Structure 1
Amino acid sequence: MYPARAVVDLTAIRDNVRSLAAHAPTAQVMAVVKADAYGHGLVPSARAAIAGGATWLGTAQVCEALELRRAGVLDVRVLTWLYAPGAPLREAVEADVDVSVAAAWALDEVVAAARAAGRTARVHLKVDTGLGRNGLTPVQLVELLEPALRAEAEGAVHVVGLWSHLAFADEPEHPTVRAQAQVFAEAVRTVEQAGVRLEVRHLANSAATLTTPAVHYDLVRPGVAVYGLSPVPQLGGPERYGLTPAMTLEAELATVKDVPAGTGVSYAHQYVVERDTVLGVVPLGYSDGIPRHASGGAARLGGPVQLGGRRLGVAGRVCMDQFVVDLGPGATDRAGDRVVLFGTGADGEPTAQDWAVAADTIGYEIVTRLGGRVPRVHVGDLGESVEPAVAAAGRDRAEQVVR
């Protein structure tokens, strides 16, 4: 029995994918479910995305892709793209997982894995068009084409995709967006002229899916937008793009006590109460993923919470397992009362973006950094798209929350 939980609405994930597909009607949708589906729960979120129309799933790590296959997620393509030498690529090939190749050594290891597995590996070549991160430079891409085509002639690999990632997609008018698109278009021409028959070309992440139709190509790869967060909050919140945040983080209020004026709160007394008041302890801390940078001080309160219909904020420093809120003079709140850290915002509660502002970070980090000891409770009726046990557990928890 943990005194907090992340309630994940699978119906919202499903509907978000439908909205994203409507923004990119000429492309297929790859729902990116890396990092435990941005903290929302890998397998249930993947099934919800499929129910919304996703025909691809994307994972950073090979182990994530294998977990999906072991869970019986078999009816969509899965791409994995980030690994070091010695990764379990044979298992990935055997599980019919598409593998990205971003370096010459990676092609060698994929070929060896395919030979060991006795089946053809499906490969996506990753080209670095200007992000300066993972991927082949355009020169390296040309150099890799000959060995890739030899491996394809052997039957070891089938080059099915070419892809890249944008550096400034969240600023659609930034000149690098057009520059990278031009580099990618040239890379597509180079690969196709060499004789590669691509099934999919993909460049657009969440932000580009919503704001830059020119780079949708055959496949878009939304990530954070699948979970209802806006990747371009400076342009508009989730509602502008037909998205609904899927996660609500809530806790039960722990200790509640009266304190006199002048009481210092939490480590180093960064916050000191100015009048007699009531303090409440929320049993979540930075070990659970609550950002310490969202601590509150004398100048301003920290990360926002909702309690009893009122908006409050972190008073003092966020600790490992808990933080304090100043409930105000005469507050009648009691231990066990529900505290909402963030949710959809529909009932006036804070959102993940509000916490991102308080911690000077991005909404992606707020939901993804939640610790493993915070239970994920999945709610929402997706019918046969969700395992019966998962759906039943979600309904039971939803009833408990309502009661």
Structure 2
Amino acid sequence: MTTPAFDDGTPARAIVDLDAIRDNVSALRDHAPSADLMAVVKADGYGHGMLPAARAALAGGAHWLGVATAEEALALRAGLGPDVPVLVWLLTPGAPFAELIAAGVDVTVAAPWALDEVAAGARAAGRVARVHVKVDTGLSRNGVAMGDLPRVARRAAGLESSGEIHVVGVFSHLACADEPGHPSIDRQAAAFDAALEEMAGAGLRPEVRHLANSAATLTLPGLHYDLVRPGISVYGNSPGPLLGPPGRYGLRPAMTFEARLANVKHVAAGEGVSYGHLYTTTQDTTVGLVPVGYGDGVPRHGSGGAAGPGGPVAVGADGSGRVLRVAGRVCMDQFVLDLGPGAAERAGDVVTLFGASDGVAHGAPLPNAQDWADAAGTISYEIVTRLAPRVPRTYVGTAGSDTTDRTTEGEAQQ
């Protein structure tokens, strides 16, 4: 893989390694060899670009694609054609069911109201609706409540008999799979099995049963059923710090976020840095200005000062040298690093906020998204998905040849 030179005058970029996504999916399939795999590409492919990520995931052996919204599902269908199974699961009353069904998208029934709208959409589309029933097994979020499941199952069976819908799948979502041994895991698995029995009792025979997210795909083989639905791990990030770094599972982060120093200057000891003077220099030093901020997706909670260390950044001519922490408040468009006295860095030098690494917490030379999540009090999912549209994505690798080796801002927004 060759990374294009960072010499076009842009202040920052995100490099997305499509081969990493492909290889991560292949590794995930090895962790779940008895199940098909649905690559989750919602939220613009977790910030990586939905269509490029989807193509790379398919190259790695993904059988299905999963998204949250109708808009995402229709964009996938338009971009990839009719042959790839696509599931959409977060729909509200009035959603474009007829358009989704006509496009061959599998739609989710997660509440009793949805059955009638799906059936109406199927009649309008002149096509049988492919339906997955989502059951709430203990997350108390989206999904049919267990108390409502008997009547939903009977109604779904009736609509299947009349030829308006076909119940393709039954699924649920785990609350604490990233916490090994959490008692909710066994409770949810038991509730899911009970839901499957309820569906069978109504005469429904779904083709795919799916429960496993990234964490369960990697660590809970008993919950793989017919299909696993990894999300964050497709992009090479660990589902949570308790499970260890991505390299433990044969994964590597697909995104590197880097910027070029916009200014380097000397500052005297005792000077406050950035808004609110959270950080004060302790000696005569050199500071560097990094031209990205929370308007680009850098979390403001990654600010550094007396209350705690800021987000980590690797500095050096190649962006992979020593790791420093954000000095002071992260602003909308910029933040500051204390480079230290006698620093050799100059304006234009590359710094790396996070990259393809197991992270400095595990001795790697580059920070990763989890390191930033730790500094900001959040999760790695938020770090990568919040990267703003104004940060151009540079695609590298051979997976999905029509999106590789070029920089684009528009592709990531499809």
Asked if Structure 1 and Structure 2 have the same fold, meaning a TM-score greater than 0.5 normalized by the shorter chain, the answer is: yes
2-structure distance, mates of 1:394, 1:293? 29
Q: 1:70 aligns with which of 60, 64, 78?
A: 78
Q: Percent identity?
A: 62
How do 1:31-50 and structure 2 match up within 5 A?
31-50=39-58
Task: Indicate which of 304, 311, 330 corresponds to 1:303.
Answer: 311
Give 1:391 deviation, angstroms.
2.0
Give every structure 1 segment of 4 or more consecutive aligned residues whose post-TM-superposition deviation is greater than 2 Å: 72-75, 298-301
- 1:139 partner SS: coil
Check conservation: 1:48, 1:386, Cα contact below 8 A: no
Q: Distance in 1 between matches of 2:25 and 2:166?
A: 29
- Partner residue of 1:342? 354
| SS at structure 2 position matched to 1:251 | strand
Deviation at 1:300, TM superposition (A): 4.0
Partner deviation per Cα, 1:200-223 (whole Å, 9 max, x = no partner): 000000000011111100000000
Retained in 2: the 8 A contact 1:114–1:121?
yes
Partner of 1:5: helix, strand, or coil? strand
SS in 1 for 2:256: strand
Residue 353 of structure 1 corresponds to which residue in structure 2?
370
Aligned to 1:399: none
Matched, 1:368 2:380: no
Conserved 8 A contact 1:202-1:219 = yes
1:227-238 → structure 2 map (5 Å cutoff): 227-238=235-246
- CA distance in 2 between counterparts of 1:294 and 1:73 reads 41
Greater shift, 85-94 or 238-247, is seen at: 85-94
Deviation at 1:2, TM superposition (A): 3.2
Report the counterpart of residue 406 of structure 2 in structure 1.
393
C-alpha distance in 2, partners of 1:263/1:370?
A: 31
Q: Which amino acid aligns with 1:92?
A: L
Aligned residue number for residue 411 of structure 2: none
Number of the residue aligned with 1:330: 342
User: Aligned partner of 1:386: which letter?
Assistant: S
Amino acid at match of 2:345: D
CA drift of 1:224 comes to 0.3
SS of structure 2 residue aligned to 1:286: coil
Q: Is the 8 A contact 1:2 1:374 kept in 2?
A: no
Distance apart, 1:386 and its partner CA: 3.4
Letter in structure 2 aligned against 1:359: A
Residue 94 of structure 1 deviates from its aligned partner by 1.0
Alignment of 1:75-224 (within 5 A): 75-224=83-232
CA distance in 2, matches of 1:35, 1:268: 33
User: 2 CA distance for matches of 1:325 and 1:187?
Assistant: 54
Q: Secondary structure of the equivalent of 1:166? A: coil
Task: Tell me the distance in 2 between the aligned counterparts of 1:162 and 1:172.
Answer: 24
* Residue 292 of structure 1, CA deviation: 0.7
Letter in 2 for 1:67: A
Comparing 243-252 with 326-335, greater Cα deviation is found at 326-335
* Other structure's SS at 2:373 match: helix
CA RMSD of aligned residues (A): 1.4
Q: Is the 8 A contact 2:82 2:103 kept in 1?
A: no
Tell me whether 19-28 or 185-194 shows the greater mean CA deviation: 185-194
**CA shift for structure 1 position 233:** 2.1
Structure 2 gap ranges (5+): 1-8, 359-363, 409-414
Deviations, residues 304-349 of structure 1 (Å, cap 9, x unaligned): 0011111111000000110000111111211111010001227611
Look up the match of 1:320.
Answer: 332
For 1:206 and 1:29, the matched residues in 2 are separated by 11
Q: CA deviation at 1:301?
A: 3.2
Instruction: Return the alpha-carbon distance in structure 1 between the equivalents of residues 256 and 404 of structure 2.
Output: 17
Give the Cα–Cα distance (whole angstroms) in 1 for the partners of residues 309 and 153 of structure 2. Answer: 56
Q: Report how far residue 285 of structure 1 moved.
A: 0.5
Q: Give CA-to-partner distance per residue, 1:63-112, whole Å, 9 cap, x none.
A: 10100111124332000000211111111111100001011111111111
Show the 5 A alignment for 1:49-60. 49-60=57-68
In structure 1, distance between residues paired with 2:405 and 2:215: 34
Distance 2:104 2:82 in 1: 9
**Deviation larger for 82-91 or 51-60:** 82-91
Separation (CA, whole Å) in 2 of partners of 1:94 and 1:386: 29
What code does the residue aligned with 1:380 have?
A: G
Moved more, 300-309 or 159-168: 300-309
CA shift in 2, pair 1:197/1:386, >3 Å? farther
Q: How far 1:193 sits from its partner (Å)?
A: 2.2
Task: Work out whether residues 10 and 379 of structure 1, in 8 Å CA contact, stay in contact via their aligned partners in 2.
Answer: yes
The answer to whether the 8 Å contact 1:172/1:208 transfers is: no
Q: In the aligned structure 2, how far is the partner of 1:291 from the partner of 1:301? A: 13
- Total equivalences in the alignment: 391
Within 2, Cα distance between the matches of 1:12 and 1:356?
21
1:299 Cα offset (Å): 5.2
**Structure 2 CA distance for aligned equivalents of residues 216 and 41 of structure 1:** 27
- The one-letter code sitting in structure 2 at the alignment partner of 1:371 is A
Q: Deviations over 1:328-379 (max 9, x none)?
A: 1111211111010001227611111110110111111111111111111111
